[in-house]
Structure 1
């Protein structure tokens, strides 16, 4: 079977939603959980559109809430495939808010969702590759590979079986912690 490739723009998605009082937290700002839910939905839609299969979220890399979102603002989420493996893909997400009255836009969040395509039997399904047409697309693809490699190293280095306390104890010297080893 010949390998299939798709242009990134074929699966890119943008959604915009008005933020309502029911989306707010106790301080009157939009609840981060609501934004994460929207991010997961658009990541699912983008990955499913690319893979032509149902997709599941395998991991989320780095969610930093950069600016608060107010009730009454429009929130726009943009999703794009940054990387494709054999059955998984990284969906890059950007979240922006817009004040309807002033037109002021704020970058609120950027994140990376790793999604895995599933077939009808629930098994991981092969996906099309992506066609890279710009230096930014190549940069995003390379960054995803680097992030995966760093994640594997970070996970193994802190495994309870091989973690060396003496190698990291100095990091706790100025921390807000108290050590009472038994």
Structure 2
């Protein structure tokens, strides 16, 4: 199957806003990390779907940093874009900010990189369009995504080698 025509980063960028309620928080009134991960995964999947015009499946979420707490009543804004596309996979970067309601100031609270694979309705991998970075920032993210992919691949190989040394009763 032939790869689709390349697409601009701006063509698939997504944004999501959430008001944080008590049901989303721990006893200290801070957003649960798992709930933030869910929001990140959702906006990332939307971006991957827009870019690939396919069904995105999350393969990994890495470099997830919790920089500052998100509190009950905060307005959480998540922005996502495809950093780079490979054959059937894409790296999506998500930046999470809290909007300060009194000053309209954005405060960075979290960032993550997710890898999605594009699937057809039968669950088969499909080629994704390459990314055309437009700005210097997008070009830097494009290059960084290539380095992160190399590191992820090396880590996968390391884990395979480690599993091969485990006794058979430890294999799952």
TM-score in terms of structure 1 length: 0.83
Residue equivalent to 2:136: 135
Structure 1: 4+ residue segments shifted above 4 A: none
**Contact 2:3/2:128 (CA < 8 Å) preserved in 1?**
no
The 2-side partners of 1:161 and 1:17 are apart by: 41
Per-residue deviation, 1:142: 1.1
Residue equivalent to 1:28: 29
Give the number of the structure whose residues are more often strand, by fraction. 2
Spell out the pairing of 1:22-171 with structure 2 (5 A cutoff). 22-157=23-158, 159-160=161-162
Question: How many residues align structurally?
Answer: 163
The 2-side partners of 1:111 and 1:2 are apart by: 27
Per-residue deviation, 1:99: 2.7
Residue equivalent to 2:170: none
The 1-side partners of 2:10 and 2:17 are apart by: 18
TM-score in terms of structure 2 length: 0.87
Unaligned runs of 5+ in 2: 166-172
Task: Tell me which of the two structures has the higher relative contact order, counting C-alpha pairs closer than 8 angstroms and 6 or more residues apart.
Answer: 2
**Contact 1:72/1:100 (CA < 8 Å) preserved in 2?**
no
Unaligned runs of 5+ in 1: 164-182
Determine helix, strand or coil for the equivalent of 2:65: coil
CA change 1:3–1:73 in 2 (3 A) is closer
